[in-house]
Structure formats: C-alpha cells, structure tokens
Chains A and B, each alone.
Chain A
Amino acid sequence: MTCDSVSNLISLYYYGELMPDEEDRLETHLAGCAACARELERQRKLAAALDQRTAPVSPLLLEDCRADLMAAVAGGAPRMAGLRKGPWTLFLEAMASTFSGMGRLRQPLGATVLVALGFMAAKITPGNLSFMRGGAFANRGVSTASMTPDDVFSTVRSVQPDSSGRVQISFDETHRRVVEGRLDDQSIRRLLLAASHEENPAVRVESMDILKTSAGSSPVRDALLNALANDPVASVRLKALEGLKPISTDPDVRKVLAQVLLTDDNAAVRMQVVDLLVAHRDDSTVGMLQSVMQREDNGYVRLKCEKALKEMNASLGTF
C-alpha cells in the first residue's frame, strides 16, 4: 500500500469503516512508515477538536419539547389511520372540503378565514343518534334527516324513563356550521376570539396566528395579552407575543410583558419578551432587566439581558 492510498483511507480507518483486508494492509504500512503514522495522529487530533463542537441540549428545552408534543397529541393531532376520527381530523376535513389545505389559513390580514363552529363547543361528543330513529321522537315530529354523525354533536344531560315505557332525554345539540369571511368582518373576529379560548391548543395556535395581525383592535389586544399571561402551551404564548410586537410600547402591554418575563417557565418565551422590552426602552427597563439577572438561571436569557444592560450602560446588578 502506498502513502497516497493510506492518506486517502486514514479517516475511514479511524472510523473503523474499512474492509478487514484493507485494514490489515493499512496497519502493516503504518507500522513501518513514520509519516503515515503522523497522519493518523493528525486525524485523531482533528476528531478530538471536532468533539469540542457539540451544542448542549438543555433539559429545559427537552421538557418543553415533550410538553408541546404531548399537548399537540392530547389536543387531537391527526390520529393514526384506522382509529376513530377525533375532533381534529374532523376539523381538518372540514377545512379540506373548502380549501386545499391548512397552509392557506396562515395568510396575513385580510385573508379569508374559515371557522368550523362545531369545534368551539366546550364539549364535543360525535353523536351517534341512530337510536332515536323511529322511537318516541319520531312521533313528535323530530326530523332525523339532518342528524347524521357528521352534522350534529350532542351531549346527553339526563335520561328519565317513565312508567308508560317512554323516556325523556335532555341533550345539548351542537351543529357544525361553516362560516367564511374576511378578518375585518366583526362576526369572524368574534369567532376567532372565541377560538382563542378553545380547549384544543392547535385551534388556539391557529387563531392566535390569524389574530396577531390585528393587535390594534382592543378586544384582540386583550385576547393576545390573556393568552400570553395564561395559556399553558408555550407555542400559543409565542404566537401571542408575535402579535404584541407592534404595540409593545403600550404601557399595559409592557406591564404584562414584565410580569411574564419574571414568571414564565419557558425560556424561549422569556427571550422573546426581553427582545420586545428592550426594543423600546423606558425608565423601568433597566430595573426590570436587573431583577431578571438576579433570578434568571437560563444562560441564553441572561446573555440577552446582559447585552441589553451593557448597551444601556447600566450595571448588571443592583447593589
């Protein structure tokens, strides 16, 4: 084996990826060639230098990822095929029947939005109402034509049999309706605001994503602030933060931002909050950042605060 071919194979040798016979021939050559032995030593040093370049994964990031994933799954991410359709699948199907895909929903202000009303009910039971057909209700003229599982969701509140063999059932009906309109339409806006309280976090993220373009309106601003301060899912809070960006000089907004900076358990949220607060500095910014420096344990957030304080020629701590 020549020195040239050894030089070509040295890295694969280091990684143990040569064929056994190639490896044998290379080792025989190395034993008698000081230059190639040095080459192998260089390969080892290169690998050791590259070992230094691992990006740390903070346990916090891992926990956030897990929490977000489980929230998405529990909230009804599209289920595996073959299982009963969950609300999310039905929701997507409702979308697909009108639009080509969810991506369209991400269009900015003025985009047409579509909201499936049925999904805003607090409790959804895909109804199988076939038991009603031809029973007592038929006598009372209840139309069952529209009561297919796709149209109506119901929650039975009480069931009371009487001695004559009849039964009285009280139930709430939720009809799914599809409405379509522009974002500046008041009724669409109201539905989006309602969606921002919906139990399913995926619906909350989508509605925040649309609402964030119109933070100028005060109900929208309140919804964004409420989501930022209270929503348990970090991705919803991050969307709300994006929406609050244009109005981050508003004193009420800053008050909530300051509170979130000190209390939010998600570092990505805190990083974004620092960005918003320092973009428009006011008298309270320095004090706020200094108190963050006292209690913050995330390196990234500390670094950001430190940088902002240095730029403002302020000391890093209070004395």
Chain B
Amino acid sequence: MGQDAAGVVGARVGPQVEALIRAAQRGDADAFEQLVRAYDQSVLRLAMNLLRSPEDARDVYQEAFLRVYRNLHAFRFDCSFHTWLYRIVTNICLDQLRKRKVRKEESAVVETADGPIDRMDSFEEEGVDANPERTMWNRQLRGKIESAIDDLTPRERMVFELRHYQGLRLRAIGEMLGTSEEAAKNCLFRATQKMRSVLGEFV
C-alpha cells in the first residue's frame, strides 16, 4: 500500500504536514524544504522509473517542485497534499512521455557523443549468476519487458506505474489524473492485457 512520509495516501493532510504547508504558504523557506524532503524521494523515483533517464527525472523534479512553490498559496486542503502534488508531477511526466512518443524516442537506446548506448546497460545487472542460460533468459525477458512497456500509451503507462510500482489505489490514481476510478481501471486492464500477450511465453 502506497504510503509516504506524510501518512496514508488519499487521506486528508495530517496535522504535521498541514502545519508545514501553512508555514510554507506564509513564506517560511525551512518549512518548504521540509515539505519537499517529505515527498521528493517518491517523486524522483516515479520520474526515474517512467523516463529512465537521470537528466529527465531531474528536470521533472525541478519543474514539479517549482510549480509547487509558485502555487502552494492556492492549495486549499480540499484534497490530500499527496494527490495535489502528484497531479502536478504526473502532468509533467505525461507531457514528457507524449513528446517522446512523437519523437519516437521510446527506445532504450540513447545517442551519445560516442555512439548509441543502451540505457539499460547502465543499470545494475539483475540476477546475474553463474548460469549463462539463466542470464541469457533474463536478458531476453528484460528486452521483452521494455518493448511491452513501450507499446503502452502514455496514460496506460502512467496508470500501470502508479498502481504496480508506486502501490497507489485506482481511486487515488483517478483523482490524480483527473479521471474516474472506472477509467483508471480500464487503463490498468488494457496495460496488463498488452503485457500479458507480449510476455506470455516467459511467465
């Protein structure tokens, strides 16, 4: 179940967080920093997981928290701060994902000054063991997972990310994405169906 420093997701703001928000709204820089620190790890993890690039994740972080800084005065405590923050973050990430779709940059291969490299190669090799067959199988599976995820629409990908990796409930996800729980459920259903059809042989 998705939780953060502020308590259970979807709940109204706890008293400590409320005090921080009110102080930050009055211009208290320390309170703003504490508020950022309470939530920023999960924001960065979400951006990194979705965009697979430290540079892009960094841009999302900066843009999101600057928007929070500029608009915190407009936060009226009528939803959880987590939901309000994630509305901002998911919007920015969705924009990035859509831009990538347009630019056909979904591939894990990135162009660098010294030729194309596979972004995934820079991540920790998971489950590498003495068994070469198993390593090969893992490698193939990883490739399949990447292409299955690339086939999702940005919205499906976002819903899947928030449900599977961030552990948020569909009701909260619908609220963040400005849609109904039912629409979020349909998105999750389509996403998992697509992945099951692509990854079926591996599992």
Contacts and interface: CB of A to CB of B under 8 A. Distances in A.
B196 A46 contact: yes
Given A12-B185, A80-B27, A268-B55, A57 B66 contact: no
A52 B114 CA distance: 29
A307 B114 contact: yes
Contact of A80 (B40, B69, B193, B202): B69
Contacts of B145: 49-50, 52-53
Given A50-B145, A56-B124, A62 B188 contact: no
B54 A50 contact: no
Given A69-B61, A69-B65, A56 B27 contact: no
B203 A49 contact: yes
A69 B62 contact: yes
B117 A52 contact: no
A270 to B, nearest CB: 12
A22 B70 CA distance: 44
A81 B73 contact: yes
Interface stretch (B11-19, B80-88, B92-100, B162-170): B162-170
A307 B32 CA distance: 42
Contacts of A83: 27
B137 to A, nearest CB: 11
A73 B69 contact: yes
Contacts of B193: 11
Contacts of B33: 70
B40 A65 contact: yes
Contacts of B179: none
Interface SS of chain A = helix
Contacts of B127: 52
A47 B164 contact: yes
B28 to A, nearest CB: 11
Contacts of A42: 196, 200, 203
A54 B141 CA distance: 14
Contact of B44 (A47, A62, A74): A62
Nearest to B193: A11
Contacts of B29: 73-74
B180 to A, nearest CB: 13
Given A49-B199, A268-B54, A303-B122, A79 B27 contact: yes
Interface string A298-310: 0110011001100
Contact of B195 (A50, A56, A61, A73): A50
Interface in A1-46: 8, 11-12, 15, 17, 42-43, 45-46
Nearest to B138: A52
Nearest to A41: B203
Interface in B170-195: 170, 185, 188-189, 192-193, 195
Q: Could you say which interface size class chain A belongs to?
A: 35 or more
Interface SS of chain B = helix
Given A57-B48, A62-B40, A300-B54, A11 B192 contact: yes
Interface in A80-103: 80-83
Q: Could you say which interface size class chain B belongs to?
A: 35 or more
B25 interface: yes
A77 B29 CA distance: 12
A56 B36 CA distance: 20
A7 to B, nearest CB: 9
Nearest to A42: B203
Interface in B7-55: 25, 27, 29, 32-33, 36-37, 40-41, 44-45, 48-49, 52, 54-55
A144 to B, nearest CB: 31
A303 to B, nearest CB: 6
Contact of A77 (B69, B122, B124): B69
Interface in B55-73: 55, 57-58, 61-62, 65-66, 69-73
Contacts of B170: 15, 17
Interface string B149-168: 10000000000000111000
A61 B54 contact: yes
A122 interface: no
Nearest to B112: A275
A11 B196 contact: yes
Interface string A267-296: 010000001101100000000000000000
B44 A52 contact: no
Interface in B111-131: 112-114, 117, 121-124, 126-127
22 contacts: A8-B189, A47-B164, A49-B202, A49-B203, A52-B127, A57-B41, A58-B54, A61-B54, A61-B57, A62-B40, A65-B40, A66-B36, A69-B62, A79-B69, A80-B69, A268-B58, A279-B114, A303-B122, A304-B114, A307-B114, A307-B117, A311-B114
